[in-house]
Structure 1
Amino acid sequence: MTAVLILAVIACSLGVVSSQHESRRLVTEIEREQAHTRALQEEFTRLDIEQQAVAALPTVEKLARKALRMDVPGKDTQISLDLSREGRR
């Protein structure tokens, strides 16, 4: 009878240890997924801001053309600079 009780206590102890290990593993996995979620939210925010900035460019161009009477310079008034290493010599 005592041997059976000792085996039952050992089995229960192993079950508790196994449960604690599994619980810690799952908590670690949850924390990893939460960190991944935060990273994705930050990337989404950055991309959303970038998209809004790009979407605003036509509006800025339209205002520059109308209010400031700005236009793209013609080919004869454009100046090109060669910034490569060969051009710096």
Structure 2
Amino acid sequence: MTRILLTILLVANVASAIGVIYARHRHRQLFVELNRLINARDELNIEFGRLQLEQATVAESNRVDQIARTRLGMKFPEANDVVVVRP
């Protein structure tokens, strides 16, 4: 009877130790993954800031006007070229 109880306790102790080892290993894996994701998030935030700055620069009205005039050959219409349509 004592041998059976001792064997059961030994098996339970080994199983518990294996469970602790697995839990620590899994914790380390998840911690590494968390750090990788945090770094990726930070890189994406930096890229987003760059893109916002670029968008603000490209969308500036003076720049749009300059590109419309130089690349597209656009200009403001003369007063006699404007036609007002009324219902």
Q: What TM-score comes out, normalization by structure 2 length?
A: 0.66
Root-mean-square deviation (CA), in Å? 2.4
Displacement of 1:23? 0.9
Query: SS of 1:46's equivalent?
Result: helix
**Count of aligned positions:** 69
1:32 and 2:29 correspond: yes
Which of 21, 40, 45 lines up with 1:43 in the alignment?
40
- 5+ residue gaps in structure 2? 73-87
Displacement of 1:59? 3.0
Query: SS of 2:28's equivalent?
Result: helix
Q: Note the 1:7-86 alignment, pairs <5 A.
A: 7-61=4-58, 62=60, 65=63, 71-72=66-67, 74=71
User: Identity percentage over the alignment?
Assistant: 11
Rg larger in 1 or in 2?
Answer: 2
Q: What TM-score comes out, normalization by structure 1 length?
A: 0.64
- 5+ residue gaps in structure 1? 66-70, 76-89
| Distance in 2 of aligned mates of 1:25 and 1:16 | 14
Would you identify which runs of 4 or more consecutive aligned residues in structure 1 move more than 2 Å? 58-62, 71-75
